[in-house]
Amino acid sequence: MRRFAALLCAVWLAALTAAHAEEVVLGLSQDSVSISTAFDGSEILIFGAVKRENPIPDGPPLEVVITVAGPLQPLTVRRKEKRFGIWVNTAAVEVDAAPSFYAIATSGPWGDVISDTEDLRHKISIPYAIRSVGAPMSVDRPQNFAEAVIRIRQNNGLYQLAESSIEFEQQTLFQTAISMPANLTEGAYPTRIFLTRGGAVVSVFETEIDVRKVGLERWLFSLSREQPLLYGLMSLAIAIAAGWGASAAFRVLRRG
């Protein structure tokens, strides 16, 4: 019995050593993004290296998958149909949580770098990143609602899949750039790096990119949340002043 237990312990230690034989050493060009009134997007350079305790093993080459996700948000997706010449809402599905931004970069074609099983396990691909509650029984084709969210956000640059965009040298050094659009949501952006071999995940590294409003943008955002009455009155005063100024300028132009 002792010999059997010792054998099990040896096998476990060997498996643990193999599982950590290749690990990520990561770097970011910046670990924070500042949103100001002049902010029109940003590009984050993600680079790193693979740390090994043993030579590169034989078999399938090592691949890299990187994901950057924005804060999760609940939302309601509605379907519109034309009835009697008028577009009306006919059905709605509650999406429990969808990332406000989601980007994926890979070192090769999607089917070569990750298996369906590992994708499901780690929730890597865009459809798996969206958590949706059960749709009402009366809703026809509920999967179309999640697909609509993906399609709309892809068109707005908020959801991205960049296959073969990671430069991977000698299965050791890698780098890629993630484009972040101007309409970012404030918050923490979890960043994950997966090392895969033969479609299986062999190592995972996680970090965060902090996205915050600064300057006038930050002050207005805080004012709208902390003192909504004052924010509303100030907005009304600015609108009245702008309208009066435009009217005065128009009168001057007419006289001229």
The band of 231, judged by pLDDT with boundaries at 50, 70 and 90, is: low
- What value does the mean pLDDT take over residues 73-81? 75
CA-CA distance, 24 to 175, in Å (whole number)? 12
Lowest mean pLDDT among 33-42, 165-174, 204-213: 33-42
Whole-number pLDDT of residue 110: 95
The band of 8, judged by pLDDT with boundaries at 50, 70 and 90, is: very low
Q: What is the pLDDT of residues 107-121, one digit of tens each?
A: 999 999 999 999 999
The band of 193, judged by pLDDT with boundaries at 50, 70 and 90, is: very high
Q: What is the pLDDT of residues 156-170, one digit of tens each?
A: 889 999 999 999 998
Q: Average pLDDT of the chain?
A: 77
CA-CA distance, 94 to 76, in Å (whole number)? 5
Give the phi and the psi of residue 159 in degrees, each rounded to 5.
-115, 125
- What value does the mean pLDDT take over residues 241-252? 70
Model confidence, pTM: 0.71
Q: What residues form DSSP beta bridges with 173?
A: 49, 169
CA-CA distance, 48 to 25, in Å (whole number)? 5
- What value does the mean pLDDT take over residues 44-68? 88
User: Tell me, what amino acid is at 66?
Assistant: I
Q: Of the CATH numbers 3.40.50.1390, 3.30.460.10, 2.60.40.3880, 3.30.70.100, which one belongs to the domain with range 24-213? A: 2.60.40.3880
Contact 64, 46 (CB under 8 A): no
CA-CA distance, 69 to 158, in Å (whole number)? 10
- What value does the mean pLDDT take over residues 20-45? 73
CA-CA distance, 8 to 4, in Å (whole number)? 6
Whole-number pLDDT of residue 18: 44
pLDDT at 174 over 90: yes
